[in-house]
Amino acid sequence: MKIAIGNDHAGVDLKEKVADFLKGKGYEVENVGTDTKESVDYPDIARKVAKLVNDKECEFGIVICGTGIGISIAANKVPGIRCALCHNSFTAKLSRLHNNSNVLSLGARVIGDELALDIVDAYLTTDFEGGRHARRVDKIEEC
């Protein structure tokens, strides 16, 4: 499975830890984020991740900024993207199970490294439940 990962300057360190974690689990990682702490605009990064997911070049995306808020808002502006900002493994799991999210957002200044890795693991190991939730996801796509 291939995962697109993108980050702004605030998310460089966490992106590197998440990418290493993913590679250790056997995932292929497409890095479209910055590798320096020089200021960049997170909407540009969110758009790159969203495009890779929408074009089916990557199964999922992970976006990281300081709080996870701005980059998730930007990702959600792209039609077809359902980006979930998660602060724990429970919300990560439910974002997949009930909302069929395809991009995970993390706040590098909000959560610690170990929690971030737990969130990523919960997110990527949970499948969409479908059923009544599929109808709701379809309605989201109509918005």
Three-state DSSP state, 1: coil
Q: Are 7 and 14 in contact (CB under 8 A)?
A: yes
Query: Is 135 marked as a binding-site residue?
Result: no
Q: Is 65 a catalytic residue?
A: yes
Query: Is 99 marked as a binding-site residue?
Result: yes
Query: Is 119 marked as a binding-site residue?
Result: no
CA 87 to chain centre: 12
Query: Is 67 marked as a binding-site residue?
Result: yes
Query: Is 41 marked as a binding-site residue?
Result: no
Query: Is 112 marked as a binding-site residue?
Result: no
Query: Is 96 marked as a binding-site residue?
Result: no
Catalytic residue among 83, 87, 98, 133: 98
**Angle of CA points 65, 71, 76, to nearest 5°:** 155
Residues composing the chain: 143
Whole-Å CA distances, 77 to 18, 29, 48, 61, 74 = 24, 23, 12, 15, 5
Q: Is 133 a catalytic residue?
A: no
Catalytic residue among 58, 65, 83, 86: 65
Which residues are designated catalytic?
Answer: 65, 98
Feature table: binding site for D-ribulose 5-phosphate: 8-9, 66-70, 99, 109, 132, 136
Feature table: binding site: 8-9, 66-70, 99, 109, 132, 136
